[in-house]
Amino acid sequence: MRKLLAAALVCGVLPAYGWGPEGHNLVTRIAVAELTPAAQAKVREILGPDQTLVSISSWADQVRRQRANTGPWHYIDIPIDQPHMDMARDCPKDDCVVAQIAIQRALMVNPSATAEQRKEALMFVVHFVGDMHQPLHCSDNKDKGGNDVHVVLFDRPGNLHSTWDSGLLSRMGKEDDLFPAMLKEAQKRRKKWSKGSVADWAEESHKAAQKTVYGKLPPEPKGTPEPLGAAYEAAADPVIRVQIEKAGDRLARVLNDTLK
């Protein structure tokens, strides 16, 4: 098993789950800086003394294997050739990130829920608001959100989805080096960016996938890996930066509105 995992890591064929921990940590660190005192107190009450919003921000990915039913909760497959999201088409049985943010958000403050249910609901919300800002978590080109598209990013083989989850971001710098400027920008734009609904945010993420993730892909015959280089990186990096900043502002809004 260890050998298999090692081989999978080398070949870059592990299923891609969402922003990597670096992305989720950045989103959550921005949100934490914008929480009201009331929301901070409620978070402490729900999580207990040993965990923080940042420490639990990737928990939903860690349990994804054991809880197979939660797999589709991390994304919504809005077809890349469609102009808008359609919940009846794209979110059957509420098994998508947009529906689950609403469901888990309500559960987080449901007085009939157990303390453990409320805690898990909070951990899901923190993670899913981050995930939905990764454009490929709101898009599909009949390729499992880019998981089936082989790419080579600066000589490293992988797939388009994992490249957007973590490959490009890790090349942008270390979390602690990226955080101060991202927080500053998020705070500057907070009023504008924290507006809208979860559905609006999903459509915006989908548009970023149309325009940049797929729109800037170098034209290559299907079946051969797409080589991604400096031009693609230059188009992608500002999108990743802004999506993480927006996700931070919006996670703060969701938590501040819910945990009063």
User: CB under 5 to 8 A by kind: which of Zn ion, ligand ADE, none does 90 bind?
Assistant: none
Per CB under 6 A, 144 contacts ligand ADE? yes
Indicate the residue among 34 and 167 with the shorter CB distance to ligand ADE: 167
Q: Which does 140 bind (CB under 5 to 8 A by kind): Zn ion, ligand ADE, none?
A: ligand ADE
The encoded tokens of residue 65 equal 């294997």
Which tokens hold the place of 90? Answer: 């794209």
- Regarding 80 and contact with ligand ADE (CB under 6 A), the answer is no
Q: What angle do CA 60, 65, 70 make, to 5 degrees?
A: 55
CA dist list (Å): 103 to 23, 52, 176, 221: 23, 22, 33, 42
**Applying CB under 6 A, which part among 6-14, 135-143, 167-175, 178-186 lies near ligand ADE?**
135-143
Q: Which of residues 147-166 bind ligand ADE (CB under 6 A)?
A: 147
- When CB distances are held under 5 to 8 angstroms depending on the partner's kind, the choice from Zn ion, ligand ADE, none that residue 144 binds is ligand ADE
Q: Which of 39, 56, 136, 183 binds ligand ADE (CB under 6 A)?
A: 136
User: Is residue 130 close enough to count as binding ligand ADE by CB under 6 A?
Assistant: no
Residues near 119 by Cβ (< 8 Å), separated by ≥ 6? Answer: 46, 47, 48
CA 100 to each of CA 60, 75, 193: distance values in angstroms, whole numbers, following the listed order: 12, 10, 21
Question: What's the CA angle centered on 211, arms 208 and 213, to 5 degrees?
Answer: 70
Stretch binding ligand ADE (CB under 6 A), from 23-31, 32-40, 45-53, 138-146: 138-146
Determine contact, residues 85/76, Cβ cutoff 8 Å: yes
**Which residue number, 35 or 209, has a Cβ lying nearer to ligand ADE?**
209
Of 29 and 135, CB closest to Zn ion: 135
Give the closest residue to 114 by CA, choosing from 46, 167, 54, 163.
46
Q: Which residues contact ligand ADE by CB under 6 A? A: 75, 77, 136-137, 140, 144-145, 147
Q: Which residues contact Zn ion by CB under 5 A? A: 16-18, 61, 74, 131, 165
